[in-house]
Amino acid sequence: MNKKKLGRGLGELLGDDYQDTEKVLDLSVDRIVPNPWQPRQDFDESSLSSLSASIKKDGLIQPVAVRQKKGSSSYELVTGERRWRAAKMAGLDTIPAIVLDYDDRGMAEMALVENLQRKDLNPVEEGMAYRKLMDTYGLTQEEVSEKVGRSRPYIANMLRLLDLPEEVQDFLSSGKLTAGQARPLLGLGSDAEKISLARRIVKEGLSARQVEELARAGKPKKAKEKEKDPISEYLKAIEEKMGLSVGTKVRIRVGKGKNAHRGTISISFKNDEEFQRIAGLLDSQGK
């Protein structure tokens, strides 16, 4: 299958195949079955009813695209499932269809691109479609990015949404949560925290920015820094002062417990010349 980016219409998706009117047939709606790689799971009934009414009035203007099933007289949809469903609701016996020769991978890619172009997928469906392409055909995120016309970080972010708890994914699927609202939840520690904040988002209608702030506040705190030890601070100051005197890094280490009054002073040097310079400086200080 050729790489076809997101475009403005079916013609741009199908290229020369769309222009070849000899491939357009009137097929019985009962001989057509859905694309087995269709990423879209939910079809809004009110939207289908509206499209069905339009088809009843003006007919189906844009043909669907199909491929013939091997060893069968039936056809699988490549693109246009929504139009096919609406045509059946409108009572049409036949619909115009472009017959194409696609392999399974081409079917999967075309179904995904068409839905992305029409913005028909919810975030969970979109993420699952990307994952299926990767798992089934061994594609990398970069390769999926090139095929569907999205950036690689965008693909990665949509895939990460599939790591959210099932209840949160249900909110995404139903449109109660947007991807922007849900993404900050990934930074929280437990599933319980993610679900709790997701419920609050739905209840209070929090914006993505508000969710980011709440998620940031709810992230597990890093181990608190040790309180500054006055002795350590004093030794650090001495290290800096001595370092300025000799012109290189100085480290002071002291023991603990009964050895607290013992320790070492280390002076770093990078080469023989610096060693000679420091040795000469210390020798002169002792005279």
Q: Is 81 a catalytic residue?
A: yes
Q: 179, 157 in Cβ contact below 8 A?
A: yes
Catalytic annotation, pick one of 22, 45, 76, 81: 81
- Closest by CA to 84, choosing from 129, 41, 32, 134, is 32
Encode 247-259: b = buried (16+ Cβ within 10 Å), e = exposed. Answer: ebebeeeeeeeee
Q: 165, 191 in Cβ contact below 8 A?
A: yes
Q: How far apart are CA 1 and CA 187, in angstroms?
A: 38
> Can you spell out the DSSP letters for 42-79?
---HHHHHHHHHHHHHH---SPEEEEEPTTSS-EEEEE
Q: 77, 84 in Cβ contact below 8 A?
A: yes
> Known catalytic residues?
81
